[in-house]
Amino acid sequence: MHAAVVSSFDAPPRYDEVAEPVARGRDEMVVEVLAAALHPRVRSQADGSHYTSTEELPLVPGIDAVVRDSKGRIRYTVLDDTTLGTMAERTVIEADRSVVLPDTIDPVLVAAAMNPVMSSWVALQRRIEFRRRQRVLILGATGSAGRMAIQVAKRFGAGQVVAAGRDVARLEKLRALGADVVCTFDDVARAADVDVVIDYVWGDPAARAMVALLTARADRSAPLTWVQIGSVAGPDAPIPSAALRSARLQIVGSGIGSVPGRDFVKELPKMAAAVADGAFDVRARAVPLAEVERAWVGTAGTPERIVFVP
Ligand SMILES: NC(=O)c1ccc[n+]([C@@H]2O[C@H](COP(=O)([O-])OP(=O)(O)OC[C@H]3O[C@@H](n4cnc5c(N)ncnc54)[C@H](OP(=O)(O)O)[C@@H]3O)[C@@H](O)[C@H]2O)c1
C-alpha cells in the first residue's frame, strides 16, 4: 500500500510503498484511512522534536484519523506514536481508542477539528477545575487550536473570552467565533483579571504576557491558572521568580502525560459528537496523500488545516 514515509528527520515525508499492516493484539484492527490531518503535533513527530519521539525510522506519521473499519463503520481514532501512523491507505487501530461516528459526517472536517478541539476541551474538563462564568485568556488564539479554544470555552460557560495573538487582521475575525475582546500580545494587560490562561505560545511572548498580566491585576491574591498547551514561540520561557511569589499564579501543562490517556479517550465520544453536530467553525483543506511531500513544506501556520486523503 501507499503511505507518507519519513526516512530522515531533516526532510519531509515522501509518498512511497510500505508493507500492508497486520493487526496483532486482541483489540487491534486494520482500517481504511479516510482523512488524516497535519497538526503541528504531527510535524514534530515527523521531525523527531516531539517529547514522545523514540527516534525510530522509517516511520509513517499521523496521530489520529477518520477511518472505515471492516464492517463499514466510520470511526475517529487516536494513535500512540508508532512507526505506522495514520498517513497511509490503511493502518492499525485499537478499537477502544476510537469512537464510532454517524456515516453522514464529513471525514475531512472531523479530522481537521478533533486535535485542536481536544487541546482546550481536555484542559478545561480534565486538567483543571473550570467553572462556568470564569474569564479566559487565550494566547495564540488565531491558530486552529486557539480558534477552537474560543468556541470550547464559550461552550463550557466562560464568562468572558479574551483572544490574544500577533496578527491584528486575523484577531478581528475571532469576534465572530465568540471572542469578547481581542488584543495583541503587547496589550494583554487588558485581560489582567482573567481566571484562566490557555497558552499555545510559550517562549518569550508568554513570559512577557505573564509579567504584564500579573502586574496589572486588581487583586493579586485572586487565583490565576495558566494552562500551558503549546509552544509555537519556543520550548523555553524565562519566567521571573517574582511572578510566582507576587501573585496567586499556578502554572500547569495539559497534554499526553499530564492528562492520562484514558481521560483523553473518555472525552472522545462527547467531542466527536459536538464536532459531528457542526458545533465548531472548522477550516480545512483536503489534499491527496500522494501530494504529501509538496503540501508538507510551506503550509505550517496556514489558516486552514491540511487534511490528507489517501
Ligand atoms: N497539548 C495538547 O493537547 C495540544 C493539542 C493540540 C495542539 N497543541 C499545540 O498547540 C500549538 C498550536 O497548535 P495549532 O493547531 O493552533 O497550530 P496552528 O494552527 O499552526 O497555529 C499556530 C498559532 O501560533 C501562532 N504563532 C506561530 N508562531 C508564533 C510566534 N513565534 N509567536 C507568537 N505566535 C506564534 C500563530 O499566529 P499567527 O496567526 O499570527 O501566525 C497561530 O496563532 C502547537 O504547539 C501544538 O502542538 C497541543
* 79, 93 Cβ separation under 8 angstroms: yes
Q: What percent of the chain has pLDDT over 90?
A: 92
CA-closest candidate to residue 163, choices 153, 148, 150: 150
pLDDT at position 80 is 82
pLDDT at position 95 is 92
Domain at 2-115+261-309: CATH code = 3.90.180.10
Give the residue, out of 44, 64, 119, with the most ligand 1 atoms within 8 A of its beta carbon, to mutate for a pocket test. Answer: 119
CA of 291 to the centre of ligand 1 (A): 24
Q: Tell me the mean pLDDT in the region 69-87.
A: 94
Q: Tell me the mean pLDDT in the region 152-174.
A: 97
pLDDT at position 4 is 98
pLDDT band at 174 (very low <50, low <70, confident <90, very high): very high
Q: What is the mean pLDDT of the chain?
A: 95
pLDDT at position 171 is 97
CA-closest candidate to residue 235, choices 29, 42, 56, 49: 49
Q: What percent of the chain has pLDDT over 70?
A: 100
Q: For the chain, give percent helix, strand, coil, nearest 5.
A: 35, 25, 40
Give the residue, out of 38, 200, 304, with the most ligand 1 atoms within 8 A of its beta carbon, to mutate for a pocket test. Answer: 200
CA of 41 to the centre of ligand 1 (A): 10
Which residue in this structure is represented by grid cell 466562560? 158
Q: Tell me the mean pLDDT in the region 241-251.
A: 94
pLDDT band at 82 (very low <50, low <70, confident <90, very high): confident
Q: Biggest alpha carbon distance in the chain?
A: 61
Per-residue pLDDT reduced to its tens digit, 24-73: 988 999 999 999 999 999 999 999 888 777 788 999 999 999 999 999 99
Q: Tell me the mean pLDDT in the region 69-95.
A: 95
Residue range(s) in the chain whose domain bears CATH number 3.90.180.10: 2-115+261-309
Phi, psi values for residue 186, rounded to 5°? -75, -10
The ligand 1 site (C-beta within 6 Å) comprises: 39-41, 115-116, 118-119, 140, 142-146, 165-167, 170, 200-201, 205, 229-233, 254-255, 301
pLDDT at position 62 is 97
CA of 69 to the centre of ligand 1 (A): 32
Per-residue pLDDT reduced to its tens digit, 175-194: 999 999 999 999 999 999 99
CA of 143 to the centre of ligand 1 (A): 5
Per-residue pLDDT reduced to its tens digit, 126-151: 999 999 999 999 999 999 999 999 99
| Domain made up of 129-253: CATH architecture | 3-Layer(aba) Sandwich (3.40)
Residue range(s) in the chain whose domain bears CATH number 3.40.50.720: 129-253
d(CA 77, CA 111): 9
pLDDT band at 169 (very low <50, low <70, confident <90, very high): very high
Which residue in this structure is represented by grid cell 497535519? 38
Decide: helix, strand or coil at residue 22.
coil
